[in-house]
Amino acid sequence: MPEVSVIIPVYNTEKYLSQCLESIQKQSYTDFEVIIVDDGSTDSSFSIYTEFLNNDNRFRCIKTENRGLSAARNIGIKNSKGDYICLIDSDDWVNTNLLSDLIPEMKKTDADISIFWFFKYDNNTGEETPPHDLPGCSQIVSKETALSGIIYETYGSYAWNKIYKRELFNGTLYPEEIRYCEDVATTHKLFLNAKRILLTNSVLYHYRINNYSSLTHNFNTTKCFDAFVVSMNRYNDLKNDFPMFTDKSVFYIVRSASFFFCLYKGGNTEKEEKLSIIKAISDNCANILKYKIPMYLKLSYYIGKYISPYCLSIPYRLLLFFKKIGVKKH
């Protein structure tokens, strides 16, 4: 049995797929399997990954109809054989020492999760930006410290800059009913399940930004509502045991609600469904607007809720205006 299962959902990433797969194939740590989950690609991704399937028996593929990133990840997790799970996006790539640096350290410290860092690669300019404020050394951190890094986006809720013991996914998978913020919906749950979390100072991943083929590029009411639901659920999961994150969690809830109100007038959602969604947002926000969040965000929320059917652009322009003049955010 392989020790590590590397899971790569693939959907129409022909431009970048070879670089991704080669970076994994060349790992100095060799005891791994690669599970490619083809989520209904219609480009030449199939012919690209088939070369790896034919030449390296550590690679295998599962083909499925297009069901989204969460479903593809879950299929890979359910079919994995390794003790550890590594999730990689098919338009990114990793250093060849990713597994050799992290797996021995996870064994040594008996860590359930290992967090590592990433470069941001600008797809337009070809420039890479390194992370800031790296820890001085790798160490086991408290659950509060680990959660702080995802709530305040130090290293984020991304699925791909962490390695997990496979057992953490027993009963916790990625939500297939949404198509946006899947990582935010799940990562904190995995942290809550973990007993020991290793925060490293290793920079091992290359995250491609300004990639206009990315699923996260187009912003719409569906994504705004997904973000709202996910933020609301995370707030409920953390509010009792980790009240120190309440204000920041509320910030994300109100922000996603504000953007929904900015956009919903021009969306394709049917009128009755829109009204139902608006009521759900309003009911959930009624008790949390009392928390400490930026005033511009509260104003945008109320303007969006009560005025946007007639003056759609006002809340969005307000958000941009206050950000431009530098209103402090929490």
Structural domains present in the chain = 4-209 (3.90.550.10), 221-324 (no CATH)
Q: Which residues of the chain have pLDDT under 70?
A: 211-219, 261-330
Q: What is the dihedral of CA 6, 12, 16, 22, to 10 degrees?
A: 40
Burial of 112 (0-12, 13-18, 19+ CB in 10 A): buried
State residue 215's pLDDT score: 44
The predicted-structure confidence for 142-168, as pLDDT tens digits, reads as follows: 999 999 999 999 999 999 999 999 999
State residue 311's pLDDT score: 45
Residue recorded with tokens 């997904």: 226
State residue 253's pLDDT score: 83
What single-letter amino acid sits at 284?
A: N
State residue 255's pLDDT score: 78
| CA triple 147-178-146, angle to 5 deg | 5
What single-letter amino acid sits at 9?
A: P
Task: Give the chain's radius of gyration (CA, Å).
Answer: 21
Residue recorded with tokens 């206050």: 322
Task: Say what angle helices 246-263 and 313-324 make with each other, to 10 degrees.
Answer: 130
326 CB neighbour count, 10 Å cutoff: 7
**What Cα–Cα distance (Å) separates residue 85 from each residue in 4, 17, 41, 168, 255?**
6, 20, 23, 10, 32
DSSP readout, 143-177? HHHHHHHHHTTSS-S-STTEEEEGGGGTT----TT
Phi and psi based region of residue 46 (left: phi greater than 0; alpha: psi -120 to 50; beta: remaining)? alpha
Give the whole-angstrom CA distance, residue 136 versus residue 202: 10
State residue 298's pLDDT score: 65
